[in-house]
Structure 1
Amino acid sequence: MKTTYLTFFTFASMLFLCHEAYAQQQNNSSYEFENPAVILAQQDQIKPVRSLELSIGKQYLTNDYAAWKDISLSGVYGVGRQVFQVELSSKKEFNQTGHFLGVADTITVNDDWFARVSVGAGNGSFYLPHVRSDLFLYKKWFDKRNFVSSLGIGYYSSPDGHIDRNINLGATYYFEKPWILQGGIRFNRSNPGQVETHQQFIAVTYGRDKQNLLTVRGGWGGEAYQQISSAQSIVNFQSREVSVLWHHWLNADTGYLLSVERYSNPLYERVGAHVGFFYQF
């Protein structure tokens, strides 16, 4: 597999992960840490993956809920066989302001195996984790190593006292042409109550390095808990989500992103967008 091919997909995956997944709160979306396209063959690249991204977003909700707002700064820094990530975000959801800090480290073990560990915490806002941690192991298959499978475990502690534990399975296939096909499933158990749910997702990415990247993603399944206030939650319900994310390069190092998202559950629907700017160095 060519170096430019690996660099292109690595950067695409990193941006997608930082923008949509890392500060994900509660159990209300199929966007997850375990995006199996994250970080391929760091040791094969001409130079390490390093980038900064700043984005802002707004989401409108039905059922008379106030709009959500967020701003996020994320960074990726690759050195040797490791890629470090950090995200700092500030949000306002359900009329409460919250802040989140997350860090992650992806380690290339050898040409076929790599692993990722991440941890994050909110400032006590009811819709952000008290603490969240995830551990994933990835395996590349075939001569070209263009099929990647993943197995992960996760832990989520909420300010309201409930705890989620989950097992995640995922797979990604890299075509010869600039296409990526992804899929995954999460099995989750929440306590108290031993509420068992599962969610799944499918995503397709198309694009060319330093030009444009377009990702279309859909997720659906069950959620155990979702806090909508400090004293109210919805339990054991189905939800659906679809999103489109576009990265456009203005030159070799800088560009902008645009995304639109739609989410629905039995209580409300949410539609919104994000805009941002990224810089590679």
Structure 2
Amino acid sequence: MFKNTFLVALIILASAETALAQQADPGKDITIPGPPVQVSEEAKRSLELTMGSQSLNAGYSNWRDVTLRGTYAQPRNVLQGEVSVTRRFDEDGAFLGVSDTYTFNDDWFGSVAVGAGDGAFYLPRYRVDAALYKKWLADRSLVTSVGAGYYNAPDGHTDRSLSLGAAYYFTSPWIVEGGVRLNRSSPGSVHTQQKYAAVTYGRDKQDLVSARYTWGGEGYLAIAANTQLVNFKSEEASVAWRHWLNSKTGLLISANRYTNPSYHRSGINIGIFHDF
């Protein structure tokens, strides 16, 4: 079922089904990325515009963001770019990211992504992520992945991560995913582990509904210019719906709920996408 398709590297299938998820959302307190999803050959070029709002408790101000993402697919490469403008913790920020997914053959493909923030304390100074994917079984319906990432923050801390994941594509219409990310943060050599599980129901060009749950530890999370949460537990649940209005254009919406020891955050993202 994977022949004659393009596979796009998404930072997260969730977050309004907003691709580049991954790397998709530059923030630190979000779901870890899962395996890429399929994109039909027809969707060789696409644009996606999303807007989101997040409500926080414990006296923190609400978040806002606007993101534009583009995809350009060639026979062996899927190129993606993203520009995000955000307001979090009463500070404006901007993030720019690009990625390339390359198909080596019918069984192997890989991705590389780089991104940088504008200096806002909650965005990366820069980040680099790479992953290698392998398809298994006679119909190539099982995809496993191994990835590595490096995150350099304006406050001086760094993250080095190793990710392992798997996705199984049923004949139709289910996809199930699971994975783990092992992370080492410095200074302090803080070791944490995050896991995720996700399920997607639907068909391309019609409707796709996904649900994801992420839980585990985080190393560093900046909540102010000189304040970080260190070595703490968090969890996030999200649901997303992508609906095609016709063969080229559609709408997307997602909702999420995130918790850590310092605050709870919940919100919604809405957007529109168009395939050229």
The TM tier, using the shorter chain, reads: over 0.9
State the shift of 1:248 in Å. Answer: 0.7
Residue in 1 that maps onto 2:134: 139
Residue in 1 that maps onto 2:35: 36
Where does 1:94-243 land on structure 2 (aligned, <5 Å)?
94-243=89-238
Query: In the alignment, does 2:238 pair up with 1:268?
Result: no
Superposed CA offset, 1:73-103 (max 9, x none): 0011101200001000000000000000000
CA separation of 1:13/1:69 partners in 2, compared to 1, >3 Å: closer, same or farther? closer
CA separation of 1:252/1:225 partners in 2, compared to 1, >3 Å: closer, same or farther? same
Residue in 2 that maps onto 1:82: 77
State the shift of 1:3 in Å. Answer: 6.1
Residue in 2 that maps onto 1:92: 87
Relative to its length, the structure with more strand (as a share) is 2
CA separation of 1:63/1:234 partners in 2, compared to 1, >3 Å: closer, same or farther? same
CA separation of 1:248/1:63 partners in 2, compared to 1, >3 Å: closer, same or farther? same
Q: 1:17 touches 1:38 (CA, 8 Å); kept in 2?
A: no
Unaligned runs of 5+ in 1: none
- What amino acid is the match of 1:208? R
Q: 1:37 touches 1:148 (CA, 8 Å); kept in 2?
A: no
Aligned length: 274
| TM-score scaled by length of structure 1 | 0.92
Residue in 1 that maps onto 2:17: 16
Structure with greater contact order relative to length (CA < 8 Å, sep ≥ 6) = 2
- What amino acid is the match of 1:257? L
SS at structure 1 position matched to 2:271: strand
- What amino acid is the match of 1:125? A
Paired with 2:203 and 2:230, the residues of 1 have a C-alpha distance of 42
The alignment yields a C-alpha RMSD, in angstroms, of 2.2
Superposed CA offset, 1:223-276 (max 9, x none): 001100001111100000000110111111001101101000000000100010
Paired with 1:197 and 1:10, the residues of 2 have a C-alpha distance of 24
CA separation of 1:114/1:30 partners in 2, compared to 1, >3 Å: closer, same or farther? same
Q: 1:66 touches 1:94 (CA, 8 Å); kept in 2?
A: yes
- What amino acid is the match of 2:184? R
Quick one: which of 43, 46, 66 aligns to 2:61? 66
Superposed CA offset, 1:4-63 (max 9, x none): 8x579999969835264334335322233xx213457xxxx5445321100000000000
Paired with 1:229 and 1:171, the residues of 2 have a C-alpha distance of 35
Q: 1:18 touches 1:87 (CA, 8 Å); kept in 2?
A: no
- What amino acid is the match of 1:36? P
CA separation of 1:60/1:97 partners in 2, compared to 1, >3 Å: closer, same or farther? same
- What amino acid is the match of 2:113? S
- What amino acid is the match of 2:171? E
State the shift of 1:68 in Å. Answer: 0.2
Relative to its length, the structure with more helix (as a share) is 1
CA separation of 1:80/1:54 partners in 2, compared to 1, >3 Å: closer, same or farther? same
Unaligned runs of 5+ in 2: none
CA separation of 1:8/1:253 partners in 2, compared to 1, >3 Å: closer, same or farther? farther
- What amino acid is the match of 1:83? V
State the shift of 1:2 in Å. Answer: 7.1
- What amino acid is the match of 1:28? D
SS at structure 2 position matched to 1:161: coil
State the shift of 1:209 in Å. Answer: 2.1
SS at structure 2 position matched to 1:124: coil
SS at structure 1 position matched to 2:179: strand
State the shift of 1:220 in Å. Answer: 0.4
| TM-score scaled by length of structure 2 | 0.93
